[in-house]
Amino acid sequence: MEIKEEENRFVLFNDENQEIGEMTWSNAGDKMMIIDHTFVDPTYRGQKLAEKLVLNGVEKARREGKKIIPLCPFAKKEFDTKPEYGDVLRK
């Protein structure tokens, strides 16, 4: 499994280099990311891959000094259950 960053999205590839998931965001100004979509192919669910995609977004926000608005229901659940992401959550 590999995650690559593209324009406003992280893409998850399987070992055959097929796209099997993504997390997309839009930028709101220079200091804000809005996570609007997280998807993992049903065949690969249950392996915490969507969690890894959201974590990539959190790490990107930390590197770039941004805050995140998790509009996507999955990302919102991740922020609700992981207090360690609080530093990048837009309150």
Please report the domains of the chain, with CATH numbers, ordered by start residue. 2-85 (3.40.630.30)
What pLDDT is recorded for position 91? 86
pTM to 2 decimal places: 0.95
What pLDDT is recorded for position 53? 98
Q: What is the pLDDT along the chain (91 residues), one digit of tens a residue?
A: 899 999 999 999 999 999 999 999 999 999 999 999 999 999 999 999 999 999 999 999 999 999 999 999 999 999 999 999 999 999 8
DSSP string, 8-72: TEEEEE-TTS-EEEEEEEEE-SSSEEEEEEEEE-GGGTTSSHHHHHHHHHHHHHHHHT-EEEE-S
Residue 4 is given by DSSP the state E
Residue with tokens 């890894």: 52
What pLDDT is recorded for position 22? 98
